[in-house]
Structure 1
Amino acid sequence: MKKMRLFALLLVAISLFGFMPPEWVTIQSPEGKFRMMFPRQPVLTEDEGDVRSYTFKYDVGKFKDDNITYSISYADHPDTVIHSDYKDAIINAFFDKAIKDALKKEKGTKLSDIKINYKDYPGRRMKMSFMDGKGMVYMQFYLVGSRFYTIQVSCEKEHDNNVAIEKFLGSFTLI
C-alpha cells in the first residue's frame, strides 16, 4: 500500500512538473550590446530599411502565455541625426516621431506616454490599445549614443498588466 501511495505521488509530481512553463531564457547580443530575458528563444531578423535594424522577437503562438509577442529591436542612426547627448528638445522630437510611427503601424490609440531613463540615457514608455481596443502594447524606447532601442510586448486586453510584461520590460540590461 505504501508503494502505491509513493507511486501515485510520483505520478502527480511528474505530471505537474511536465506542465510547468519553461524557465525564461536570457539572450545576450554582443553586437546589440544588451541582454534581455524572453519566455522562450526569440528569432533574430534584420531589416535593411532607411536605417538597418535588428529585431529579436518571440511570437507566443501555440504556447500558453498571457502575452502575444515579445520583442527588442535596435538600430544605429548617424550621429548627425540623433545622439543621447543632444538637447532635450531634439531627443523629445525623435521619441515623439517614434511613438507616432508605432501608433500608425499598429493603428493604435495612445493610452500613456511618460519619460523614463536607463542609467543616464533618455527613454520613453508608451502604452497603446490596438485591435479596436481588444489588445494592449507596452513599448519602451531608449537612446544610447546613436543607438535606438525599442522594447515591446503585446497582450489581449483581458491579460493587461500581467506579471510577465514587467518581467520582460525590466530585464533589459546594457552590456
Structure 2
Amino acid sequence: MTIKEDFSERENCLSRGTINEWFTYCKEAVVIYQIEKQTFDGKIGGPGKIVQIDESKFGKRKYNKGRRIEGHWMLGMTEDGSEDLRLEIYPDNVRSADVLIPLIKKHVAEGTIIHTDMWRAYNDLGNHEFTHNRVNHSDPDNAFVALDGTHTQRIDPQSRITLIIGKISQT
C-alpha cells in the first residue's frame, strides 16, 4: 500500500526500491525477534486439532532479479483457533524431509490434523502419527482452499508476519 501512494508531487520521496528494502528489513527484524523471544509450553495441536504449516525464505533476490533469493529458510506452524506460533530456521539452510519431520515432531502433538501445501517433503507426514491434508496452490480452480476445506491461509508469509507483530505488541 505504501508503494501505491502517489509521491510524484512531493520532493525527497523514497524510491520503490528503498521502500521494498525497508519492508524486507522490518520483516526480518520481526522474525528474528520472535525466534529469539519465543518460549514453548508443550506442543501445539492434538487429536482433532488442525495445525497449518508452511515454509518461506526470508532474504532478498540475488542481484535484484529473478526468483533466486539469498537468505534463510524458515518453517512456521500455528494451530487453528490459537495465537501460538512456532518458528524454526532450517539448520544449515537445508530444506528436506529429513530435516522437516523432526522439526514438526518437536512442536506438533501426535494425532494432529496437519494442513500443508503440496511440497513433496511433506509427503511422509501421514506415516508419523498425523493426519495430513493438502492444498494444491497450482490448481487454477482451488488454489487457496482445497475442495475439502484444507488451506494454509493463516500461516502464509504475510499472515505469519501479522501474527508475529500481534504477539510482540502483547509483550
**What is the TM-score with the length of structure 1 in the denominator?**
0.28
Structure with max Cα Rg: 1
Which is helix-richer, 1 or 2? 2
**What is the TM-score with the length of structure 2 in the denominator?**
0.29
Which is strand-richer, 1 or 2? 1
